[in-house]
Amino acid sequence: MSGTMVLGLDVGGTSTRATVVSLTGERLGTGRAGGGNPTSHGAEPAAAQLRIALHAALAGLDPTLVRAGTIGLAGAGRLLADPAGRAAFDRAWHQVGLRCPYAVVGDALVAYASGTAEPDGTILIAGTGAIAAEVRDLTLDRVADGHGWLLGDAGSGFWLGREAVRHTLAELDAQQPPGTLGRLVLTELLGSAQVAPRSRDTGDLLVQAVTRRAPVELAGLAPLLVRAAADGEPAATGIVAEAARLLAASVARIRPTAARSPVVLGGGLLTGATPLADAVRPALAARWPTAPLLGAGDGAVAAAWLAARALPEVTDPAELHRRLLGRAPS
Amino acid sequence: MSGTMVLGLDVGGTSTRATVVSLTGERLGTGRAGGGNPTSHGAEPAAAQLRIALHAALAGLDPTLVRAGTIGLAGAGRLLADPAGRAAFDRAWHQVGLRCPYAVVGDALVAYASGTAEPDGTILIAGTGAIAAEVRDLTLDRVADGHGWLLGDAGSGFWLGREAVRHTLAELDAQQPPGTLGRLVLTELLGSAQVAPRSRDTGDLLVQAVTRRAPVELAGLAPLLVRAAADGEPAATGIVAEAARLLAASVARIRPTAARSPVVLGGGLLTGATPLADAVRPALAARWPTAPLLGAGDGAVAAAWLAARALPEVTDPAELHRRLLGRAPS
């Protein structure tokens, strides 16, 4: 295998994904490992996952032909400000035989670039957390939310999961029989949808089941809410509509009213035809009727594309984007 | 000093208050100590505070003449189910020379009884947390909220403090100059209302300042919101109005639509002419136009009254309530 290659990494809290691509748009190798965020996992354990993903992606390839790399990472600024973390990443990079430099960028930029080659636009992500950012010349500019579960992440998976439990507690307080959503929540957290003769006792058990775990694990209940909304339960659709309103409000804090640039929807709750994506699209279209609303694609491939577009031989980055990520240049 | 006496204790997370009263309505002694909740402080440290408050309240009095006692306590049920906690309280009780039995009741019942002698009604409390409860024959019946800061306490001090920070973060995200509330929050948490050239940097510092402390300490920011609302800042009055709506919704979960019984407003955010009380009163009056809306009074005196009314020689408990807590029998 010969020819110039570039490498992209999408480093998340639960998985690290690496992809090697050619400048003609072929995917040459992929690798996957566990969470590699140095802030949450520590510099050395994170670098070890990086090495595993890189090693797999480079199998059968000559690493010295990789000309550029980009690592997309939540809290990229913290890594750049952390000499130990940066050194651990450098070592992992060189241990697999890579000789080229690499750039570290925010995961929000990688998610944006996975949806469009346009240099200016907006990215909205809803997964465990939620964040919106303006992109200018393929660099992150203004950011809204992403403030974490205690103070922010409005409309995120955490937010949906918490509202699902709050709705169930309100039903129990009012001594109403739990609806679809309440039954799903009770079964998930207590093993049964049965309500005690004193419904307050069931509510207390529910609160205890949640507070025994880390608060952020409430995000694990978001799929129940999505399922109840898909079933048409009014309470669940109401909560999804409110989440969509909050996400659109986060976008409105940073995106100019007259913008016509694309908006990319990313994160597990907005990628694909989810009920939340179905609710967010009209909320965004109402404010920005001419903006293309695009879905996010493969983050590691997008990171590789970000690396490639800086090379002098890549004369048509939009065409390379189309080949790699399957969208027509807009 | 002779004559039959009763004793009341109002045990909270930050203070313990004891009061001895005569059956003719005289306040004979008071004592105060630190937080005495066995759930949050541990059985022995809690019992030590109980002893301090009892000792002070009984100074110069003959403890063998105390005929009955009531302890009001958040999570009363947990103490009754905890043999070690109950034994520690028993020892404290006897060490100060008390010979009579005592009852343990929920702090919400004590707050209710501090506002009215009516056996049936509703109590709504907003302090650090928020809870609403129905009272039947001076016993707590159905309860709404009180689910803690992560899942409940809608409209509480925690909720107000969190909304104050969220509002400030939204202003910073939108690159708007902070208003009255935002400036109060920034000054309180960062020592200055100055915003960095990149407003995101100030937002990040704000999030860090909050997450360094226990989440429940957000309740300490509620007074800033109350102050900004009193100043007429629209954002602050909007947040207070939403808190009032949430508190009224909690009451609606447990109080029958046609109820005419009194509603007592208690807790630091609803006792007196606070902006939140001013917003809650019309919200409750709109649903229950004929219900008397009463303010909570002295919890330790109310606990003493609850102890007294069970004694055979107290033939007119409503009259004793009026003497002790200064309200006409309704």
Strands B102-106 and B66-73 turn out to be parallel
Task: List pLDDT tens digits, range B102-142.
Answer: 999 999 999 999 999 999 999 999 998 999 999 999 999 99
Give the number of residues written for chain B: 330
User: A200: nearest CA in chain B?
Assistant: B143
Strands B15-22 and B27-34 turn out to be antiparallel
Distance from the Cα of B330 to chain A's closest Cα (Å) equals 28
User: Given an 8 Å threshold on Cβ–Cβ distance, is B254 in contact with A144?
Assistant: no
pLDDT computed for residue A208 by the predictor = 92
User: A145: nearest CA in chain B?
Assistant: B173
* Residue of A78, A124, A141, A151 to mutate, interface with B, max B Cβ within 10 Å: A151
Residues of each domain in chain A carrying CATH 3.30.420.40: 5-115+297-325, 117-296
Task: List pLDDT tens digits, range A218-236.
Answer: 999 999 999 999 999 999 9
Task: List pLDDT tens digits, range B275-301.
Answer: 999 999 999 999 999 999 999 999 999
Distance from the Cα of A251 to chain B's closest Cα (Å) equals 10
What does the block give as tokens for B24? 């003719």
* Residue of B39, B141, B151, B207 to mutate, interface with A, max A Cβ within 10 Å: B151
Which residues in chain A have Cβ-Cβ distances shorter than 8 Å to B167? none
pLDDT computed for residue A80 by the predictor = 75
Q: For B150, which of A152, A211, A253 is closest by C-beta distance?
A: A211
Q: Is the distance from CB of A247 to CB of A283 less than 8 angstroms? A: yes
User: Given an 8 Å threshold on Cβ–Cβ distance, is B162 in contact with A150?
Assistant: yes
CATH second-level architecture of B5-115+297-325?
2-Layer Sandwich (3.30)
Task: List pLDDT tens digits, range B162-216.
Answer: 999 999 999 999 999 999 999 999 999 999 999 999 999 999 999 999 999 999 9
pLDDT computed for residue A272 by the predictor = 76
Query: CA-CA distance, A211 to B87, in Å (whole number)?
Result: 28
Query: CA-CA distance, B204 to A131, in Å (whole number)?
Result: 13
User: Given an 8 Å threshold on Cβ–Cβ distance, is B144 in contact with A173?
Assistant: yes
* Residue of A169, A173, A216, A257 to mutate, interface with B, max B Cβ within 10 Å: A173
Task: Output the average pLDDT for chain B.
Answer: 93
User: Given an 8 Å threshold on Cβ–Cβ distance, is A150 in contact with B250?
Assistant: no
Task: List pLDDT tens digits, range B81-113.
Answer: 788 888 999 999 999 999 999 999 999 999 999
Residues of B in CB contact (< 8 Å) with A are 142-145, 147-148, 150-152, 154, 162, 165-166, 169-170, 173-175, 200, 203, 207, 210-211, 215, 250, 253-254
State the complex-level ipTM: 0.88
Tokens 């025994």 -> residue:
A212
The sign of the torsion formed by the CA atoms of B71, B73, B78, B82 equals: negative
* Residue of B122, B139, B145, B147 to mutate, interface with A, max A Cβ within 10 Å: B147
Task: List pLDDT tens digits, range B64-84.
Answer: 999 999 999 987 777 777 888
Residues of each domain in chain B carrying CATH 3.30.420.40: 5-115+297-325, 116-296
* Residue of B173, B213, B251 to mutate, interface with A, max A Cβ within 10 Å: B173
Within chain A, which residues score under 50 in pLDDT?
1, 328-330
Secondary structure (3-state) at B31: strand
The sign of the torsion formed by the CA atoms of B29, B32, B35, B36 equals: negative
Please state the separation of Cα A4 from the chain's center in Å.
Answer: 29
User: Given an 8 Å threshold on Cβ–Cβ distance, is A169 in contact with B151?
Assistant: yes
Strand order in the sheet with B263-266: B139-145, B130-136, B121-126, B263-266, B293-295
Query: CA-CA distance, B223 to B231, in Å (whole number)?
Result: 12
User: Given an 8 Å threshold on Cβ–Cβ distance, is A211 in contact with B148?
Assistant: yes
Question: HSE of B323 in the Cβ direction (CA atoms, 13 Å)?
Answer: 16
- Counting residues of chain B whose pLDDT is more than 90, the rounded percentage is 86
Which residues in chain B have Cβ-Cβ distances shorter than 8 Å to A253? 170, 173-174
User: A148: nearest CA in chain B?
Assistant: B207
pLDDT computed for residue A327 by the predictor = 58
The conformation of residue B311, written as its DSSP 8-state character, comes to S
Q: Report the CATH superfamily, name and number, of domain B116-296.
A: ATPase, nucleotide binding domain (3.30.420.40)
pLDDT computed for residue A328 by the predictor = 46
pLDDT computed for residue A81 by the predictor = 77
User: B154: nearest CA in chain A?
Assistant: A166
Which residues in chain A have Cβ-Cβ distances shorter than 8 Å to B144? 170, 173-174
User: Given an 8 Å threshold on Cβ–Cβ distance, is B151 in contact with A210?
Assistant: yes
- Three-state SS across chain A? CCCCEEEEEEECCCEEEEEEEECCCCEEEEEEEECCCHHHHCHHHHHHHHHHHHHHHCCCCCHHHEEEEEEEECCHHHHHCCHHHHHHHHHHHHHCCCCCCEEEEEHHHHHHHCCCCCCCEEEEEECCCEEEEEEECCEEEEEEECCCCCCCCCCCHHHHHHHHHHHHHHHHHCCCCCCHHHHHHHHHHHCCCCCCCCHHHHHHHHHHHHHCCCHHHHHHHHHHHHHHHHCCCHHHHHHHHHHHHHHHHHHHHHCCCCCCCCEEEECCCCCCCCHHHHHHHHHHHHHCCCCCEEECCCHHHHHHHHHHCCCCCCCCHHHHHHHHHCCCCC
Query: CA-CA distance, A242 to A249, in Å (whole number)?
Result: 10
pLDDT computed for residue B282 by the predictor = 96
User: Given an 8 Å threshold on Cβ–Cβ distance, is A144 in contact with B173?
Assistant: yes
In CATH terms, A117-296 corresponds, of 3.30.420.40, 3.30.70.1400, 3.40.980.10, 3.40.50.2300, to: 3.30.420.40
Distance from the Cα of A147 to chain B's closest Cα (Å) equals 7
Which residues in chain B have Cβ-Cβ distances shorter than 8 Å to A165? 151
CB pairs under 8 A between A and B: 71
Q: For A170, which of B148, B215, B253 is closest by C-beta distance?
A: B253
Secondary structure (3-state) at B1: coil
- Counting residues of chain B whose pLDDT is more than 70, the rounded percentage is 98
Secondary structure (3-state) at B104: strand
Which residues in chain B have Cβ-Cβ distances shorter than 8 Å to A172? none
Q: For A200, which of B143, B154, B207 is closest by C-beta distance?
A: B143
